[in-house]
A and B are shown apart, each in its own frame.
Chain A
Amino acid sequence: MAEETTASSRAKTPAPATTGAASALQTEYGTTTIADLVVTKVAGIAAHEVPGVYALGGGAARAIGSVTQLVGIGDERTQGVSVEVGEREAAVDLTLVIEYGESIPQVSTRVRENVIRRIEGICGLTVTEVNVIVNDLYFPGDDVPEQPARVE
């Protein structure tokens, strides 16, 4: 179950970073560089803040993520988030699981707005696009533990 909700295209590609995997804000007193990991985490946190978003990442990513988090090397905040960061701009791809009953277009719009607001506010980067892929729906009954058997 996957639905592409983005209407934008990648016509506007972020400027290439001067240091490969990082972005920079240039001033006369020095350069501020924000690592991709930082932008990824900010985008992940921003997406989680929106009501109706149950989780980030596809099924496989979440399964692997749950294992890596158990052994302390995984990070839920970066799961399902992919970024391209340039000197002044960033583009974000998000894979979401949305709660059943929520409007997917509305949740996607709110996620897009919040991600742009957070990245621009925290990192000082202009966000050129936020592509949202709704990968699955969450049904509240999915995580209810099975009733214990009445007889043994």
Chain B
Amino acid sequence: MAEGTSKHASGATLPAPAASERVELARLALTHALAVDGVVRADAGPLGRRVTRDGSERLAGVTAIVLSDDRYGMTLHLVARVVPLHLLAHGIRARIQRGAARAGLEHALGPIDIVFEDVAELTGEAV
């Protein structure tokens, strides 16, 4: 079966449903956060619950929850290098906001909460 398709009960091959705006934002936020210099990796937590499901795929370390104004509040759980973390958080937010604007999703992007769970070297090894 080709990627991005699913098998219908009748046997017909249907295109996979498009990701919801929530999942699109979660993927965008995670991708842009991991691209920022100083971010080592995302952290799904010891029980692996800090994830957003995108079909069969799991976006580890990011959750998106709808708010009362229909925007999505994002929470990113990250492991970073030993750098000024508050400045790093500002950089991550700015990059995600720019990415959401380019993708036409800025209307749906709510506050971006960032949790630095640990510090580590670029290899992922704890310092």
- Whether A32 contacts B114 by the Cβ 8 Å rule is yes
Chain A contact-residue range equals 20 to 34
- The 8 Å CB contact of B115, one of A22, A27, A29, A122, is A22
Known contacts A45-B127, A75-B126, A77-B127; is-contact A33 B116 (Cβ 8 Å): yes
Q: A123 — nearest CB in chain B belongs to which residue?
A: B85
- Whether B115 contacts A33 by the Cβ 8 Å rule is yes
Chain A residues whose C-beta falls within 8 Å of the C-beta of B119 in the assembled complex: 38, 41-42
Q: B97 — nearest CB in chain A belongs to which residue?
A: A29
- The 8 Å CB contact of A34, one of B74, B97, B116, is B116
Tell me which residues from 77 to 127 in chain B have a Cβ below 8 Å from any Cβ of chain A.
82-87, 89-90, 93, 97, 111-119, 126-127
- Whether B84 contacts A38 by the Cβ 8 Å rule is no
Complex formed: what's the CA distance from A117 to B84 in Å? 11
B interface residue numbers (CB < 8 A to A): 74, 82-87, 89-90, 93, 97, 111-119, 126-127
A interface residue numbers (CB < 8 A to B): 22, 25, 27-35, 37-38, 41-42, 45, 75, 77, 121-124
Nearest first, the 3 A-B pairs at minimum CB distance are A124-B86, A30-B111, A30-B112
